Structure 1
Amino acid sequence: MFYIFAVTLLSIALWSGHAAIALVLGISLTYVANFPSEFITKKIGSKLLQAGIVFLGGSISLPTLVELNSTYVPWISLFVVITFSAAMFLGRLLGVEKTQTYLLASGTAICGGTAMAAVAPSIRAKPEDLTTTLSIVFLLNAIAVLSFPLIGGWLDLTQEQFGTWAALSIHDTASVLGAAAVVGFDSVEVAATLKLTRTLWIVPLVLVSAWYFKSGNQGPAFPLFILFFVFAVSLNTTLSPSEEVLYFLRVINKTFVLAGLFCIGTQIDKESLGNITIKPMVLALSIWLTVIPAALWAALSI
């Protein structure tokens, strides 16, 4: 009975075509059913998202990718460095444990749970520290997917402006794409391209972390799906697919993103929320509430 209910909710999420609905239905599944603690949706959410990003790459040409990055790379780099430094300073000021501060700084500055999981081995993070900080980021991601499209509509942002704002201010790639998908495909294209550029900062982060914490364990530094994304962009540029093929790729991308968000929603259960403690939450929320208007200013100014 549970599996029928889960498939039904997933089907509704895909049929709705709305990222926020997919996320809410995923969260609902964990609260209204006897949800298994090791259910498959808790393990495949990020994989579905990554597959969706690769298909998105197939609908983007290399000139578009280069044009976007040539405009925004300096801003993204400045954003990452300032956000990380500010989070470390504020964490020390608030008395947050050093490892938790480092994890939250990494997640807020770069790409949420992906950066935190990548850097955790290098800084010898305890499982409970990673669990606490991941739970906080998951919660903020859910808030972002639900609220950002509403705020963007209220501010009358263009699709490019919204995509830039989302890419700079939302933690995880899944939530960036989920929020952008509500606004439109052009927004998704901009958001995905800029967010993946931001994600590349994982590489220097892990290397510096291993040196700073005197750790020989550098962890899984490079997300391989980015290589597949670039390969898909190259195929698009070489083959110049028809509009019908591009439409098909965009439909597949949206399907994977919605399914990924539904699965990620199932990770926000009572246990994960119970792991959240006050000081790390105050730190994460303070930095995020500073980043949001700063990223909006950048999106409107560039």
Structure 2
Amino acid sequence: MKISTHQIVFLLLCLACFLPVVNPPIALAIGIVFAQLAKNPFQEKTQLTINWLLKMSVIGLGFGMNFDKALAAGKDGFIFTIISISLTIGAGLLLGKLFRIDQKIAKLISSGTAICGGSAIAAISPIIKADSKQISIAIGSVFLLNSIALFLFPAIGHYFNMSQHQFGIWSAIAIHDTSSVVGAAQVYGNEALEIATTVKLARALWILPVSVLFAFSSHTALKNIKIPYFIGLFILAILANTYIPNLDWLAPKIVAFSKTGLTLVLFLIGSGLRYNSFKRVGVKPVFLAVIIWVFISVISFLGVMEIIQ
């Protein structure tokens, strides 16, 4: 099979993500620039790769964590998680009605912002019977803000002298998608990365109760609910790293590979963020996404700065 110059350039940029100088924000920026100049030549395969590589990379990060510390981080983020999810979904649905936005789009954007971005949208969409256009609008709105957050949040954290602990909690609550949470926290520091990953995945488990609520309100069968099984493997990785002896030689290699994998994931995500796609989203859904994102970002920032020392 003949490979075009376009495809070769894309593959070389993928390989560049393995270079030490390419961090998650740079990888995302390269992907976005590429997307404006040329269409991703492997778009369908890219979506499948993002899905599996993100899960494998997050599981791999578990080999760099201690179970007791992870449990403590989960406890610290628990109360923030409950409050933020309730406020975000409630505000999103209310504002959706106020702005006369399609309620299915409002539900998708609200759950994506509240829980874990694209994963939540993918889980909720079959339950509320959203069509491809509604899903595309929600994902486009959420991923646009994810991209901004990846660059903006570390700068805000440093400006306000947030500790690693504070930033880890805040980024896990206020950034939508797991990939951008981990990317921003990875730039901020190793402790922030551990805390953010743990809190974000604990947050992702709330897909289940939220899905059940939407299923009942939409009169949909519970069999349509998707369970994020990979989070269990992430926990097993933490337990293995904490309690299985003689993993010292292997665990750092797995973590290093996982960080590189996440950098590649963000390049691949960026390569699909074309300007024309966002033009089709429309103003109202993006406006809704921005309002509830800013709302939960500010509220969670103030809460973290006040409570977490």
Q: TM-score of the superposition, structure 2-length normalised? A: 0.92
Which residue in 2 is equivalent to 1:102? Answer: 107
Q: Distance in 2 between matches of 1:71 and 1:156?
A: 19
Asked whether 1:249 is paired with 2:275, we answer no
Identify the match of residue 11 of structure 1 among 4, 12, 15: 15
Q: Determine which of 112, 127, 130 is the counterpart of 2:132.
A: 127
Aligned to 1:201: 206
2:245 paired with 1:267: no
**Residue range with higher mean Cα deviation, 37-46 or 64-73:** 37-46
For structure 2, the 5+ residue unaligned runs are: none
Partner of 1:27: 32
Conservation of the 8 A alpha-carbon contact between 1:112 and 1:172: yes
Q: Distance in 2 between matches of 1:196 and 1:277?
A: 31
Paired amino acid for 1:184: G
1:39-82 deviation digits (Å, cap 9, x = unpaired): 52233113211111101112212212211122221221111111
CA RMSD of aligned residues (A): 1.7
> Aligned residue for 1:176?
181
- Confirm or deny: 8 A CA contact 2:7 2:41 kept in the other structure: no
The one of 49, 71, 78 aligned to 2:83: 78
Task: Give the superposition deviation at 1:281.
Answer: 1.0
Structure 1 counterpart of 2:60, one-letter code: F
Please give the secondary structure, in 2, of the residue aligned with 1:14.
Answer: coil
Alignment-derived partner of residue 94 in structure 2: 89
1-structure distance, mates of 2:300, 2:195: 14
- For 1:233, the equivalent position in structure 2 comes to 238
What is the CA distance between 1:139 and its match in structure 2?
0.6
Contact kept in structure 2, 1:103 and 1:130, CA below 8 Å? yes
- The unaligned stretches of length 5 or more in structure 1 are none
Q: Which amino acid aligns with 1:247?
A: P
How far apart, CA to CA, are the structure 2 residues paired with 1:284 and 1:200?
22
User: Could you tell me whether the CA contact under 8 Å between 2:165 and 2:195 is conserved in 1?
Assistant: yes
How much does 1:270 deviate?
3.5
Using the aligned pairs only, state the percent identity: 31
Deviation string 1:130-155 (CA, Å, 9 cap, x unpaired) is: 11110111111111111111121212
Identify the residue that residue 62 of structure 1 maps to in structure 2: 67
Partners of 1:9 and 1:166 in 2: how far apart?
27
For residues 207 and 263 of structure 1, the distance between their equivalents in structure 2, rounded to whole angstroms, comes to 31
Aligned with residue 120 of structure 2, among 97, 100, 115: 115
Matched letter for residue 250 of structure 1: V
1:2 aligns with 2:28: no
The answer to whether the Cα contact below 8 Å between 1:30 and 1:266 also exists between their aligned partners in 2 is yes
Partner Cα separation in structure 2 for residue 61 and residue 143 of structure 1: 31
Residue-by-residue CA offset, 1:212-252 (whole Å, 9 max, x unaligned): 00112643421121011011112112214555434223211
Q: Normalization by structure 1: what TM-score?
A: 0.94
The residue aligned with 1:40 is: 45
Please state whether the residue corresponding to 1:157 is helix, strand or coil.
coil
SS of the residue corresponding to residue 121 of structure 1 reads helix
Native 8 Å contact 1:47 1:260 kept in 2: no
Cα distance in 2, alignment partners of residues 11 and 156 from structure 1: 34
Tell me the alpha carbon deviations over residues 164-184 of structure 1, each in whole angstroms, 9 at most, x when there is no partner: 111010000000001111111
Is 2:146 the counterpart of 1:141?
yes
Equivalent position SS for 1:35: coil
| Conservation of the 8 A alpha-carbon contact between 1:41 and 1:266 | no
